[in-house]
Amino acid sequence: MSSPLALCEGANDGVVTVAPVLRRVGDFGAFLDEAFDEAFSYAARRKAESIGRPVGSSQWLEDIEAKTGIALRPR
């Protein structure tokens, strides 16, 4: 089974655990049908790539900083 199929069916398939994704997007089939604004969606990633910083939530960045001892958030 592929990841998109597992997500559309709402069933784990031994590789994909669907609950975390479905909590974020709800109906995965409807999510796939939504209009996609690539410029908006990738703006943060492109900015991060240009300055060499990872993209993630504040909590995630804080956790990674604590684990690695490397400052990742802009100061």
* Residues near 10 by beta carbon (within 8 Å), at least 6 away in sequence: 18, 22, 28
Residue 2 pLDDT grade (very low, low, confident, very high; cuts 50, 70, 90): low
pLDDT tens-place string over residues 19-66 = 999 999 999 999 888 887 777 777 877 887 888 788 888 888 899 999
| Bigger pLDDT: 1 vs 65 | 65
pLDDT surpassing 60 at residue 1: no
Q: Where are the domains of the chain?
A: 3-33, 38-68
Q: Give the DSSP H/E element, type plus range, for residue 44.
A: helix 38-51
